[in-house]
Amino acid sequence: MFWVISGVLLCIAFAVVVLGAVVLPARREGREILTERGEEVVVKVRSSTAAVGQRASSSLRTRQAEAD
């Protein structure tokens, strides 16, 4: 199990290094990291995450009110 976890952590570290090697020079040159489509996806994910958070918090408030 130790070797499996070590392998996963090594892969994650390698992925971070590769991302850094690609993203940092692009940002220094002033290029955007995401395309327009990527930006749209980020906006959709943020809005759906906010909606889920609001529903979860209202559900928790309802359950707490019922418990009281």
pLDDT band at 12; cut points 50, 70, 90: very high
Average the pLDDT over 2-13 and give the result.
97
| pLDDT, mean over the chain | 86
pLDDT band at 68; cut points 50, 70, 90: low
Q: In terms of domains, do 42 and 64 share one?
A: yes
pLDDT band at 16; cut points 50, 70, 90: very high
Q: In terms of domains, do 19 and 44 share one?
A: no
**Can you give the pTM of this predicted structure?**
0.48
**Which residues form the domain of 9?**
1-33
Give the chain's domain count: 2
Q: In terms of domains, do 67 and 46 share one?
A: yes
The values of phi and psi at residue 35, to 5°, are -80, 175
Q: In terms of domains, do 39 and 22 share one?
A: no
Residue ranges of alpha helices (H) inside 1-68 are 2-28, 36-67
Q: In terms of domains, do 42 and 52 share one?
A: yes
The values of phi and psi at residue 5, to 5°, are -65, -40
Q: Give CA–CA dist 37/48, Å, rounded.
A: 17
Q: In terms of domains, do 40 and 25 share one?
A: no
Q: In terms of domains, do 39 and 29 share one?
A: no
